[in-house]
Chain A
Amino acid sequence: MVEMVTRPYAAAFEKHALANPDVLCLSADLTSSCEIDGFRDRHPEQFLSLGMAEQNMLSFAGGLGLAGYRPFIHTFGVFLYRRPYDQLMASVAYPRRKVRLMGFLPGVTTPGGMTHQAIEDISIMRSIPNMTILETGDASEVESICEAADSIDGPVYCRVLRGQVPRLFDSPIKVGEMRLLSDGDDVLVVTAGITTEEAMRASDALKQAGVSIRHLHLHTIKPFDAKALLDHIGSVKKGVITLENHVIAGGIGSLVAETMADAGVGKKLIRLGLKDTYAHGGSRPYLMRHYGLDALALVQGVDQLLGMPTGVSEQDLDAVRVEAVHSTAKAEGL
């Protein structure tokens, strides 16, 4: 079984912040929800509570950047860009302040429903000039996200996983690179965040069914190495499938589609993810099944791409982790 790591962000942030005195910890009333409550208690001089006032917080962070600080803003992803979008643009992104936007609960990782689910954040952030986008897919990436984000000369938006996080990789994020998780030559699967674990399970099952999967995991979404992706696309015979915890418009599905179109690549592409829909509140496994973001959805995508059933069944995928929402971990994330 995959190793589960508890609250990897908490220790990682504390370590990074203590080694970097110009790093400040900002919070908007979601301090324990973003795993920085211990940091607040132990290092109050490096912590700033800005309350439920995100518009002020984003501009304030811009001012801190002007003073030479590197604020890490901690809140749920949605609250970093929906209400304070204007402030994000004018006070942070335009002047390239070194503000690190740590967005927790990406996509359907919260049962909080529409108001809490950042399902279009990548799309928004990709269109903002000067913005860098990183996404964590496992505990090693969460453990290295602070250092990776803080290496960027400009603003960074990070999709951060919290709570019980599986360890899938044994190396940290290297900004600008991508991970090749299996090197098959039939179908290229591109994933990021929590969909990577799903695709890892599916690709093992598909391999046994005779379908060779080349699997790429993205932790750096912007800037993006198009040439590396094109090389991988060139290595597969049948086509490409993207699977993302996000709407398929503007996310990594669009990123791959644009890359293929720009290069004139004529292969099939299937984009899996939220299809022009909001989600509602529920457990992560339920939502991933309901909206087609899980391993089974990927298998069905492969069936569609190949034009024939692979024969991989739900039972074959039964290694898919199911988390009870009513566990000892914070259940609803509020």
Chain B
Amino acid sequence: MSNRKTSSEIALGIRRRVFEHSMRNNGGYLSQACSAAEQLAWLYNEALHIGDPTLPMIPKPFEGVPSADNPDYHTGAGYNGPFTPVHDRLFIAPAHYALVAYATLIEVGRMAPEGLDMFNKDGSSVEMIGAEHSPGMEVHNGTLGIGLSTGAGLAWGRKKRGETGKVCVFMSDGEVQEGQTWEAIQGAAHHGIDNLWAIMDVNDQQCDGAMSSVMEVRDIATKMRAFGAIVVEIDGHDIEAMRQAKQEAHEGQPLIILARTSPYQGMDFLKKRFPRLHYVRFKSEDERRDMNIAIAAELGIEPVQLDQH
């Protein structure tokens, strides 16, 4: 174990990769890396029981959508290991976290760094909004709110089959505005689906800005408990807190870990843009340059060599 990276080191690597990528590509889902780096690092590095990847380190190009005429179609689930009864499954419910998820796959040695170069390129499977065939994605989640329901169905089926592998859903807090999330919690609790658990990145952000300004969702922990989940609230940048939260007994009920996070954790410079953090685009070359220097310093790396425009 001594030569393995710690989850904290992986989280730092995720932020660095997402930062460098966003600098080079004139924008990106930076704040999602800030808020979710520890969660995804911890999931892949410690929490999930998953096997070695079954798909090539360098992702294959887009090979078509599922259809009867495309028998070789496969999802990106193989980057999360083989679909065997003993292994866990992971759904990334907010598919726009894909860039952060891909960076995680690289940091944990499940995808080659070249994979990120294919991000959002025409003809690539490494899509901007994670598709079912994108690395690490197992189902389509681009429409927010459907991930937990799908996870619940899979978990119910696996439990009925006596499979020991669990189903984990990585969620985002904006999803609680969708009614389906509440239907999913209520349904999972009604059916005692306790091989299902979720960790939710509660960064209080959504596309239009701060969630409280878009649609106040009030006390989601209390609401989730009322709907039948076991809920643990933690500091989402505290990996030891995640380990403890995962130990919470939840027999007969799904477990949801609410990871309260900052959308500029590790990149304080982003505070200046608050609350417009959903997708960071540079307003000017000056801003890009200033951000490049400041955030690189925060992350302990050299500024990215920027192309001339």
Question: A interface vs B, CB < 8 Å?
Answer: 48-51, 53, 55-69, 86-87, 90-91, 94-96, 129-130, 153-154
Contact = CB atoms under 8 A, between A and B. Distances in A.
A62 B155 CA distance: 11
Given A67-B153, A91-B139, A130 B187 contact: no
Contact of B180 (A49, A55, A94, A96): A55
Contact of A94 (B65, B161, B179, B187): B65
Contacts of B143: 86, 90
Of A49, A60, A67, the most chain B CB neighbours within 10 A belong to A60
B146 interface: yes
Q: State which size class the interface on B falls in.
A: 20 to 34
Contacts of A51: 183, 186-187, 190
A95 B184 CA distance: 20
14 contacts: A48-B156, A48-B191, A59-B153, A59-B180, A62-B149, A62-B150, A65-B153, A66-B153, A68-B157, A69-B157, A87-B146, A87-B149, A95-B75, A130-B67
A307 B241 CA distance: 81
A123 B50 CA distance: 43
B223 to A, nearest CB: 16
A91 B157 CA distance: 15
B249 to A, nearest CB: 24
Interface of B: 65-68, 75, 132, 138-143, 145-146, 149-158, 160-161, 179-180, 183-184, 186-187, 190-191
A64 B155 CA distance: 8
A60 B187 contact: yes
Nearest to B167: A63
B184 A63 contact: no
B161 to A, nearest CB: 7
A59 B152 CA distance: 9
A95 B161 CA distance: 22
Contact of B68 (A68, A69, A130): A130
A55 to B, nearest CB: 4
A87 B147 CA distance: 10
A86 B157 CA distance: 22
